[in-house]
Structure 1
């Protein structure tokens, strides 16, 4: 408690800071659901279904890399100025995304947006860890998780309405005034004392990690689609990825202020929590990125209805997180996480068994179960991690957990996007006959709007829908596998819990 008094002066107004933090987290949370909801409309306008996963991968790549840099900088310079820089870059990227005239431009602007997004979740979460005690954090995490519920309801609803009645461009612009308001709140009400010291940023580590992840992502997205798995391009990228990853590990061992402190990975609870965050990140992106395409393309529902199937997941998330705050204190983080792991497997299994006749309600219930699993596990892990380190390490340790989830998102968007594209092309080749020879990945664009679907012959529409449905089924099998792995990892958590650290 003495540590709290030294680092967070008494004049900090905690309720107002919490409100500003929740607002900035809302911006980051709503981005996922609102953009996923709008993607079919964006593809219908700009074209380029083959680049579908790159819209998510570009954002997630920069988010994944910069989250660690921001975490380290916030430990050196304080949370307030670094969060301000990140949110500002995010808002600039959002403005530019709304101006995109082509899919290529959108991908570039999503890179800029992702650079700023790396600051949002980890620093906002770290601020809460700074201003609340260990006992308080479990309950406050429930409040933070309510942000996901609010964004889940508003994101798809607002996104769907904007797409249908205004323009998909506004899904990027709507967050700008909220971002400005959150920055004002942080500067007015958060007062922190930071020990001044010479910065020592691990730029070499950041560069090596960027190259390694970028190489892996290109392989996963384009392997088996644009490049064969044994092509010189894939082999070269694999060699670059492996070598830079090994160099990164070596660099982290030598660096005085490493991007990823290796000593925290020696703590078994933190190791397990980070690994599960990675596997659940894979699950999350597999559902949020591709479920709208299934609901609109195969079930032939509107963007608004597709958005609400994602809403169910993010309603389950905050409800479970609120319950987790109390469960952690009563039964410990291990048992709470175990219940969450079971829900992840149930949700994954429901997605594998989903059929078009199940309708949006079937998709929504599957999403809800995954959301419950995410809420129980993520809340348990944040409380566990923040209670394990002091102020000077809390920023980078929280960021490391966020990094692992973002890495899961990044790898998942690329891997599952690659699986989807490869399966669609294979299905057209094997089942399409002469019609299939003329179909490409971009032919799937025609399914995503009612206007374009009406232009298709019955046989071609059926072929496209069956191909998309078959391919997404394969994606959801992968989602289930990651859910099972998550549950097995949770079983490895130590039985003794410590919720008051």
Structure 2
């Protein structure tokens, strides 16, 4: 006999691994784990790839190509998700991601490797936006912080296993097998994912009015933004050896970027307008500061402090664990989300500055491990709170567009800071990686300070 609930019984939101959400949750987490293995493994072996392909001059671009291609996929996937549902961009994204991994493993030159990274980015960009839309449409608002925390937790196993295993593989059978080894993970991911997608699509909301609902205009704006960012980074790389062509490319890239980017974001976003505009921009600020340093920690530790590839990856491992811890703790927060984002930005800034102690004579390079725990904790607290707040502030018909906007500023910010960091390494000189790293870290810490100051503007005007 079923006992009826009383009217005053407290509401208990469904569990994310309960019968209602289990299939969707497992499908999301399996794909995120696949992407996480790529992120943790490729970041660790990039110094080995650079040496083998003679590509140290393209070290930053190898990361930026992934991110810039993902930017275009973010917008297209967001538009498709708003109008047709998130299933198709999800499945196509996984396929492109796997194809890019296979291409990277087979690359015989640095140019082909960059192309392969771009294909990976197209797939990864589509998948992440589809995940955000799926979370917004499948889960009730009370469970979304737990889902985003679970997504961050999907990085734990790759963080523990990825850097050490990929370093071992690179040092024994070669870095190419790090890429080849991730490809088979697509099969079980898709097997789990397809039932979740078939059951997860509900009635679609009416398309939202306004310029961000126009597919052709948005696609052209995304192409302009990606082209502008790529041209800008290419010009920055040229400045050292060819200052005039480099300057022209930088100016042209900035012009195209300024024409395209505002159309992809909520109105007043670039001015950090109160509410959703600042919420979206904070995702880019956090990612710019964190990943602008994260990409160069393995290079610094291997080239300056003499670490092996596997040992250098430990800092990235521990940082991911800090990220997961912060993401979990935010689920228990019932107070002001903008305050939590401010705490996260401050922690990212502190972690970046702490890594600079590794430059000091007599201080071990292992100081980067606790430093990156602090920075990772800040990202877990901050980015998850940004995601939750953005979905709460988004009308149903704009969830895809705003999910895409979050990813656009994330990928664009990371691509620009990593690309500029790579250019700084080239400008200062490959024989002085330490000075290049210090310069990068100071610049990224300044971005973190900006985020700490701006987080309060996430609050909507009463």
TM-score (norm 1): 0.81
Cα-to-partner distance string for 1:323-369 (whole Å, 9 max, x where unaligned): 01111x2x220221122122122112212332264334301111111
In 2, the alpha carbon distance for the partners of 1:494 and 1:117 equals 30
Give the conservation status (yes or no) of the 8 Å contact 1:139–1:326.
no
1:27 correspondence with 2:34? yes
How many residues were matched structurally? 434
2:70 corresponds in structure 1 to 63
Corresponding residue to 1:193 among 196, 202, 222: 202
- The reply to whether residue 274 of structure 1 matches residue 280 of structure 2 is yes
Equivalent residue number for residue 88 of structure 2: 81
**What whole-Å deviation, never above 9, does each CA across 1:438-457 have from its counterpart, x for those lacking one?**
xxx4xxxxxxxxxxxxxxxx
Looking at structure 1, the residues matched to 120 and 241 of structure 2 have their Cα atoms a distance apart, in angstroms, of 26
1:126 CA drift (Å) = 2.2
CA distance in 2, matches of 1:129, 1:391: 8
Q: Which residue of 2 aligns with 1:243?
A: 255
Q: CA RMSD in A?
A: 2.5
> For 2:242 and 2:45, how far apart are their aligned partners in 1?
29
1:136 and 2:143 matched: yes
Q: Give 1:227's match in structure 2, choosing from 242, 252, 255.
A: 242
Tell me, yes or no, if the aligned pair for 1:122 and 1:399 is still in contact at 8 Å.
yes
Residue 27 of structure 1, CA deviation: 2.1
**Do residues 101 (structure 1) and 108 (structure 2) align?**
yes
2:8 maps to 1:43: no
Contact preservation (8 Å) 2:47, 2:298 = yes
Aligned residue runs from structure 1 range 364-379, under 5 A: 364-379=369-384
Give distance in 1, aligned partners of 2:125 and 2:342.
Answer: 29
Task: Identify which of 423, 431, 443 aligns with 1:478.
Answer: 443
Asked if the contact 2:236–2:246 (Cα under 8 Å) also holds between the matched residues in 1, the reply is no
**Correspondent of 1:490 among 444, 448, 455:** 455
Distance in 1 separating the partners of 2:255 and 2:417: 22
**Residues in 1 aligned to 2:157 and 2:22: alpha-carbon distance in whole angstroms:** 18
Quick one: distance in 2 between partners of 1:333 and 1:90?
33
SS in 1 for 2:428: helix
Q: Is the 8 A contact 2:152 2:323 kept in 1?
A: yes
Mapping 1:170-209, distance limit 5 Å: 170-190=177-197, 191=199, 192-195=201-204, 200-202=215-217, 203-209=219-225
Query: Are the equivalent residues in 2 in contact too, given 1:71–1:122 (CA < 8 A)?
Result: yes
1:324 pairs, out of 326, 330, 351, with: 330
Unaligned runs of 5+ in 1: 1-11, 253-258, 425-440, 442-463
5+ residue gaps, structure 2: 1-18, 208-213
- 1:451 corresponds to: none
- Aligned counterpart, 1:290: 296
Give the conservation status (yes or no) of the 8 Å contact 1:294–1:469.
yes
Residues 267 and 72 of structure 1, relative CA distance in 2, 3 Å threshold = farther
Structure 1, 39-48 or 79-88: larger mean CA deviation: 39-48
Contact 1:352 1:480 in 2 (8 A): no
Report the TM-score when normalising by structure 2: 0.87
Deviation at 1:111, TM superposition (A): 1.5
Residue from 97, 120, 125 that aligns with 2:132: 125
Residues in 1 aligned to 2:351 and 2:311: alpha-carbon distance in whole angstroms? 20
